[in-house]
Amino acid sequence: MRLALTLASRNLFHDRLRFIATLVGIVFSVVLVMIQMGLFLGFGQMVTTMIDHATADLWVVPKGAKCFEDPSLLDARLANRVRNVDGVAGVVPLVIGFSDWRQESGEMTPVFMVGVDLREPGLQPWNIVDGTVEALSERGALAVDRSYFDRLGVNGVGSTAEIRGKRVKVAAVTDRIRSFTTTPYVFVDLKNARMYTGAPPDRASNLLVRLKQGTDPEKVAQSIRAEVGDAEVLTNGEFQSRSRSFWLFGTGAGAALFAGALLGVIVGTIIVAQTLYSSTKDHLGEFATLRAMGSSNSYIYNVIIYQGVLNAVIGFCVAAAIGLVVVEATARSALPIVITPSLMAGLSALTLIMCVISAIGAIFRVVRTDPATVFMR
């Protein structure tokens, strides 16, 4: 190991209390940023979960629809025109909307209905742990997620409730299809969806378009646009991006998460800078001795930067371990924290940059040290 690194590590670990205080600061900061960004990613994934699980290459949506949950409706008869466009393999109308769920006990709770023609691939419930998709075609049949059992007052397949005065029965149970809002998703057949949301028979929320293999989605989208008038035609990626940007930035939620992350970075930088400065001040005599011995400024900067880097590496490892525990703990929550390898890589770089920037104050202090002071003590 290089002696400068040895000196840096010994300086750092010599005062254990200060080292622990520095670590706590870094860990607090990195965990805060990690959680904020993990929430951001988790939120970003959750708001597009329906689009992600749809078997669609293109979406025909009402003009100006901001997200999957947008309640605007379009003319369902457009589906026939779209079907005739060259390159289109199938079109499935989708009806979504809010409705009221009345438990057996009489308690009411809002639900978000998702209805498609279940005979065709489009948007069917996934992660089914009890019951079948086929059973949903029966009148009054629906699928709910088991994480909402308490909220909906049900306990599995066969449980009953009422929607808009109509008796409904749980025919399938899913796992981990959670809404990022407090409103549970309820999957039903297209006809039932119209009944429960009040959508007219000639209206649909969106059209899910499947393309024939080997066709160019952009080219087909262009052809569909010519057929659907005011309605918009979006690729899967465009619809995901639009939904994500609406929920994350249109609502201010993303900005709040970013602000929290920024706060974490600022707090962390200040804490590390303060402790590095104080550590450097305590070792000024040693740095003056090094300078008197003829050490270059860059050698001394290296010692200080090594201290910052050591802080970063150790702090990040502890923070990463805490982050993994948080990920595990929130995996089944309403808003899971998602930490991806790229987020980890970004955070490690951020921690390193934060700690190196923090060393600047200490470096400025050392630059002002006069080596002649060694002879005065």
Partner 1 sequence: MNDAIIEAASVHKTLGAGAGQVEALRGIDLSLQRGELALLMGPSGSGKTTLLLVLGCMLTPTSGSVTICGQPTKDVDKEGLAKLRREHIGFVFQSYHLFPTLTAAQNVQLALDIRGERGRAAVKKSREALAMVGLQNKVHSLPQQLSGGEQQRVAIARAIVANPSAVLADEPTAALDGENGQAIMKILKSIAQERSRAIMVVTHDPRVVPFADRIIHIEDGRLVDANESEYKHLPKVTALKM
Least distance between partner 1 and beta carbon 269 (Å) = 26
Three-state DSSP state, 87: coil
Least distance between partner 1 and beta carbon 311 (Å) = 17
Least distance between partner 1 and beta carbon 10 (Å) = 3
Of 106 and 294, the one with the shorter C-beta distance to partner 1 is 294
The H-or-E segment that residue 204 falls in is strand 203-204
Number of H helices, E strands in the chain: 12, 12
Site string for partner 1, 51-80 (x = CB under 8 A): ------------------------------
For 17, the token pair is 């209390």
Of 3 and 64, the one with the shorter C-beta distance to partner 1 is 3
**∠ CA 113-117-123, rounded to 5°:** 65
Least distance between partner 1 and beta carbon 2 (Å) = 7
Least distance between partner 1 and beta carbon 9 (Å) = 9
Of 182 and 296, the one with the shorter C-beta distance to partner 1 is 296
Least distance between partner 1 and beta carbon 308 (Å) = 18
Integer Cα distance of 53 and 55 in angstroms = 7
Interacting positions 248-287 with partner 1 (CB under 8 A)? 285-286
Of 64, 214, 342, 377, the one binding partner 1 by CB under 8 A: 377
Of 104 and 282, the one with the shorter C-beta distance to partner 1 is 282
Least distance between partner 1 and beta carbon 21 (Å) = 19
Integer Cα distance of 86 and 114 in angstroms = 28
Of 292 and 357, the one with the shorter C-beta distance to partner 1 is 292
Integer Cα distance of 39 and 248 in angstroms = 11
DSSP state of 247: I
Least distance between partner 1 and beta carbon 13 (Å) = 8
Give strand pairing partners of 61.
Answer: 232
The H-or-E segment that residue 218 falls in is helix 217-225
Phi, psi (5° rounding) for residue 131? 80, -170
The residues, any chain, with a CB within 8 Å of residue 333's CB and separated by 6 or more, are none
Integer Cα distance of 352 and 75 in angstroms = 55
Does residue 83 contact residue 207 with C-beta atoms inside 8 Å? no
Total of chain residues touching partner 1, rule CB under 8 A? 27
Of 214 and 368, the one with the shorter C-beta distance to partner 1 is 368
Phi, psi (5° rounding) for residue 55? -90, 70
Least distance between partner 1 and beta carbon 49 (Å) = 54
Both ends of the chain: CA-CA distance in Å? 31
Site string for partner 1, 282-321 (x = CB under 8 A): ---xx--xxxxxxxxx-x----------------------
Stretch that binds partner 1, among 2-10, 28-36, 139-147, 325-333 (CB under 8 A): 2-10
Least distance between partner 1 and beta carbon 148 (Å) = 59
Of 3, 150, 230, 342, the one binding partner 1 by CB under 8 A: 3
Site string for partner 1, 11-50 (x = CB under 8 A): x--x------------------------------------
Does residue 351 contact residue 320 with C-beta atoms inside 8 Å? no
Of 20 and 262, the one with the shorter C-beta distance to partner 1 is 20
Name residue 32's amino acid.
Answer: L
Of 19 and 180, the one with the shorter C-beta distance to partner 1 is 19
Interacting positions 332-371 with partner 1 (CB under 8 A)? 370-371
For 154, the token pair is 């049900």
Say if residue 373 is exposed, middle or buried (CB neighbours under 10 Å; 0-12, 13-18, 19+): middle
Does residue 243 contact residue 38 with C-beta atoms inside 8 Å? no
Contact positions vs partner 1 (CB under 8 A): 2-4, 6-7, 10-11, 14, 285-286, 289-297, 299, 370-372, 374-377
